[in-house]
């Protein structure tokens, strides 16, 4: 369960995305990368359907999968019924997310007899491996995110009639898992992976097991992709990683804050976001970079997980409440107002009522602009599986409700202060029925707006809006001409 959407957390959210718009294909042919208009094969294309669950990392991985499949002569379709190959890019961060793919597979099992093939990609594929074939025998492809670059060979095997194809490569290599092609669906805002995997091993988290150890990508390669995207007309870039703050440039040229600043200096780039940060590795230099570079968005997602140092220790988070608050103080001392959001887990084994109260008091102290709240979910392989003092599910639910109600009140107050402010937004869409345009601020807040008759802002453009109404999760305003 979440209290608001629109920003990313450390691992993955159990949201699902049906990627379907006509993608723009980028050919990655070493660094710097070239962009190629693809010659489509003469044969009628094979069709595929892809549904994505989880975080931005998965969403971006899906762009790589789509790019690879299209380059192999496949065409993406919008319905399971219309597809020959049905793919799910999965998330295993919490049990509910993991179960979703098995529900989907059960729903569509009957289609297998019509000759359709099924593939499970992503974190559940990596975590469960060939066991997926036992649980869902009609699945033909199981492929973890480290193996997407081998998809072309796997597709050849599938097409040759092989019943079970797996790509569960070693995630311990130092390579970054770039595929040759990426199909970005949004023409204005795009992701760039800067670091894969995680070495933190927080006690509850499955990510180090599904995504392997940390591997950073060279800053020159990141910058080359950023410049290429700017040349294509992208104005917003989101740097992605499970823990972007532990970025270590393999060429030794740039720290994370320097890389952030350099991407912000790429001509044409107006907004740079990054997700996700880990408090332990979050340095003051990041705040200084945000302060001195207006193109770096004034929003930091800094997951705290708990307000109790005792629970943080049990979670193996490697910081105390006070150390976390020190980082918050750096942001509050900045010249720009930085919006802060967080992830919080309730009901971690051994979390007492007093611990939970500390999380509530932390909400008051920090005054987040948004949180994602989660009930602790035991995950395979994780150290917290062995902990006693399990919090009953009803109690977790109660704590989550209390947490979310408190945060809603904080947000109601915090969003109100934008009333009367003129804020620059990027136009993202149109809500015809409400007669409104959908847009987002640099702080990552949704600020929808109306326009005077005859005015029609372009998608992807930046306009100024005066805020007139506030809600706990969004703002409403009028475009300023
Ligand atoms: N149970 C509940 N929430 C979890 N998260 C990660 N692992 C678990 C788990 N086992 C949450 C954390 C993380 C976010 C992406 O998901 O809050 O920051
Ligand atoms: Fe984030 Fe910790 Fe999981 Fe790494 S192990 S992805 S730091 S929650």
The yes-or-no verdict on residue 309 having pLDDT over 80 is yes
User: For ligand 2, what atom is nearest to the CA of residue 205?
Assistant: 3
Ligand 2 atom, smallest distance to 242 CA: 6
The alpha carbon of 240 and the centre of ligand 2 are apart by a number of angstroms equal to 14
Q: Which of 131 and 19 is assigned the larger pLDDT?
A: 131
Cis peptide before 324 (omega within 30 of 0): no
- Return the percentage of the chain with pLDDT > 70, whole number: 89
For tokens 């065409």, the residue is 75
Using CB atoms within 10 A of its CB, is residue 41 exposed (0-12), middle (13-18) or buried (19+)? exposed
332 C-alpha to center of ligand 1: Å?
26
pLDDT at 29 over 50: no
Examine the pLDDT at 201 and tell me if it is beyond 50. Answer: yes
Ligand 1 atom 9, closest CA: 377
**Most ligand 1 atoms within 8 A of CB, residue of 346, 372, 374 to mutate:** 374
For the chain, give every residue range classified as CATH 3.80.30.20. 181-416
**What is the arithmetic mean of pLDDT over 164-192?**
77
- Asked whether the predicted pLDDT for residue 11 surpasses 60, the reply is no
Indicate which residue's Cα is closest to atom 17 of ligand 1: 343
Which atom belonging to ligand 2 lies closest to the Cα atom of 198? 4
pLDDT at 170: 61
More confident residue, 474 or 11: 474
Q: Rounded to the nearest whole angstrom, what is the distance from the C-alpha of residue 98 to the centroid of ligand 1?
A: 13
Instruction: Compute the distance between CA of residue 202 and CA of residue 314 in angstroms, rounded to an integer.
Output: 9
Strands (E), 60-102: 74-76, 85-90
**Smallest-distance ligand from the CA of 343:** 1
Ligand nearest to the CA of 91: 1
Determine the 3-state secondary structure of 90 from DSSP: strand
Do the beta carbons of residue 289 and residue 260 sit within 8 Å? yes
How far is it, in rounded angstroms, from Cα 61 to Cα 345?
Answer: 26
Spatial distance between the Cα atoms of 356 and 410, rounded to a whole number of angstroms: 17
Closest C-alpha to 318, from 228, 397, 203, 205: 203
| Ligand 2 pocket, residue 202 CB under 6 Å | yes
- For the chain, residues classed under CATH 3.40.50.12160 are 15-167
Computed over every residue of the chain, the mean pLDDT equals: 89
Ligand 2 atom with the smallest distance to the CA of 11 is: 6
pLDDT of residue 302: 98
Q: Is the pLDDT of residue 426 over 80?
A: yes
pLDDT digits (tens, 9 = 90+) for 59-78: 999 999 999 999 999 999 99
Per-residue model confidence (pLDDT) at position 18: 41
pLDDT at 17 over 80: no
Does position 429 have pLDDT exceeding 60, yes or no? yes
| pLDDT given at position 98 | 93
Tens of pLDDT along 462-472? Answer: 999 999 999 99
**Distance of CA 475 from the midpoint of ligand 2 (Å):** 31
Minimum-distance ligand 2 atom for the alpha carbon of 206: 3
In the predicted structure, residue 272 carries a pLDDT above the cut 60:
yes
- Closest C-alpha among 323, 311, 420 to residue 360: 311
Could you tell me the fold of the domain covering 419-479?
A: OB fold (Dihydrolipoamide Acetyltransferase, E2P) (2.40.50)
Q: What is the pLDDT of residue 178?
A: 63
Mark 98-119 as b/e (b = at least 16 C-beta within 10 Å).
Answer: bebbbebbeebeebbeeebbbb
Q: For residue 114, is pLDDT > 50?
A: yes
Token pair listed for 255 = 């720290």
Looking at residue 457, the DSSP 8-state letter turns out to be P
| Tokens matching residue 146 | 């480290």
User: What would be the CATH architecture of the domain defined by 15-167?
Assistant: 3-Layer(aba) Sandwich (3.40)
Burial of 234 (0-12, 13-18, 19+ CB in 10 A): buried
Please tell me the least confidently modeled range out of 14-18, 60-64, 105-109.
14-18
Name the burial class of residue 335, with classes exposed (0-12), middle (13-18) and buried (19+) by CB atoms within 10 angstroms of its CB. Answer: exposed
Residue to probe by mutation, ligand 1, list 15, 56, 91, 94, most atoms within 8 Å of CB = 94
| Ligand 2 and 371: CB distance under 6 A | no
Tell me which residues have their CB closer than 6 angstroms to ligand 1.
9-12, 93-94, 204-205, 303, 305, 343, 345, 374, 376-377, 379
What is the atom index within ligand 2 of the atom nearest the CA of 278? 7
pLDDT at residue 30 tops 70: no
Question: Tokens representing 106?
Answer: 């059960």
- Provide the pLDDT for residue 326: 98
Give 203 Cα–ligand 1 centroid separation in angstroms. Answer: 10
- Answer whether 278 contacts ligand 2 (Cβ < 6 A): yes
CA distance 478 to 480: 6
Q: Does the beta carbon of 301 sit less than 6 angstroms from any atom of ligand 2?
A: no
Select from 56, 278, 319 the residue to mutate for testing ligand 2; criterion: most ligand atoms less than 8 Å from CB: 278
Q: pLDDT tens digits for 242-253?
A: 999 999 999 999
Going from the Cα of 288 to the center of ligand 2, the distance in angstroms, rounded, reads 25
Give the ligand with the smallest distance to the CA of 211: 2
Place 40 in a pLDDT band, splitting at 50, 70 and 90.
Answer: very low
Residue 441: strand, helix, or coil: strand
* 377 C-alpha to ligand 1 centroid (Å): 8
Bridge partners for 122 per DSSP:
90
Inform me whether the pLDDT recorded for 16 exceeds 80: no
Which CATH superfamily hosts domain 181-416? tm_1862 like domain (3.80.30.20)
Residue 196 has pLDDT above 80, yes or no: yes
In the chain, CATH 2.40.50.140 sits at 419-479
Q: Give the residue, by CA position, lying nearest to ligand 2 atom 1.
A: 10
Q: Tokens 């602009």 belong to which residue?
A: 369
| 74-76 vs 117-122, strand pairing mode | unpaired
- C-alpha 177 chain-centroid distance: 16
% of the chain exceeding 90 in pLDDT:
81
* Closest listed ligand to the CA of 7: 1
What pLDDT, on a 0 to 100 scale, did the predictor assign at position 411? 98
């Amino acid at each position: 369960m979440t209290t608001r959407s629109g920003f990313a957390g450390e691992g993955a959210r159990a949201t699902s995305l049906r990627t379907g718009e006509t993608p723009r294909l980028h050919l990655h042919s070493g660094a710097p990368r070239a962009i190629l208009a693809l010659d489509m094969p003469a044969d009628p294309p094979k069709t595929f359907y892809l549904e994505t669950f989880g975080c931005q990392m998965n969403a971006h991985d899906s762009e790589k999968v789509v790019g690879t499949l299209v380059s192999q002569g496949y065409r993406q379709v919008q319905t399971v019924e219309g597809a020959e190959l049905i793919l799910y890019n999965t998330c295993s961060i919490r049990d509910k997310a993991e179960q979703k793919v098995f529900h989907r597979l059960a729903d569509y099992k009957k289609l297998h007899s019509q000759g359709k093939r099924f593939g499970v990609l992503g974190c559940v594929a990596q975590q469960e491996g060939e066991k997926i074939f036992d649980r869902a025998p009609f699945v033909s492809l199981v492929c973890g995110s480290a193996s997407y670059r081998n998809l072309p060979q796997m597709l050849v095997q599938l097409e040759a009639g092989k019943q079970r194809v797996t790509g569960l490569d070693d995630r311990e290599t130092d390579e970054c898992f770039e595929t040759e092609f990426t199909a970005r669906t949004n023409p204005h805002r795009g992701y760039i992976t800067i670091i894969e995997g995680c070495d933190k091993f927080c006690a509850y988290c499955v990510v180090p097991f599904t995504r392997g150890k940390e591997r950073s990508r060279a800053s020159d390669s990141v910058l080359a992709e950023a410049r290429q995207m700017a040349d294509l007309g992208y104005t917003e870039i989101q740097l992605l990683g499970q823990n972007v703050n532990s970025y270590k440039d393999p060429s030794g040229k740039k720290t994370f804050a320097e890389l952030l600043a350099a991407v912000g200096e790429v001509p044409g780039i107006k907004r740079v976001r990054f997700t996700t940060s880990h408090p332990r590795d979050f340095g003051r230099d990041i705040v200084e970079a945000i302060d001195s570079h207006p193109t770096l968005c004034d929003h930091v997602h800094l997951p705290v997980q708990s307000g109790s140092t005792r629970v943080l220790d049990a979670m193996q988070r490697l910081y105390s409440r006070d150390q976390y608050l020190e980082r918050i103080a750096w942001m509050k001392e900045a010249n720009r107002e930085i919006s802060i959001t967080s992830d919080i887990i309730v009901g971690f084994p051994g979390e007492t009522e007093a611990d939970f109260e500390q999380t509530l008091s932390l909400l008051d102290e920090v005054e987040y602009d948004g949180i994602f709240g989660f009930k602790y979910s035991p995950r395979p392989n994780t150290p917290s599986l062995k902990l006693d003092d399990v919090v009953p599910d009803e109690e977790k639910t109660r704590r989550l409700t209390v947490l979310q109600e408190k945060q809603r009140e904080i947000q109601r107050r915090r969003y109100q202060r934008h009333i009367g402010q003129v804020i620059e937004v990027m136009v993202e869409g149109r809500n015809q029925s409400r007669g409104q345009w959908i847009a987002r601020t640099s702080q990552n807040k949704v600020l929808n707006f109306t326009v005077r008759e005859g005015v029609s802002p372009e998608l992807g453009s930046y306009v100024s809006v005066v805020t007139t109404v506030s809600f706990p999760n969004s703002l409403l305003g009028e475009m300023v001409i």
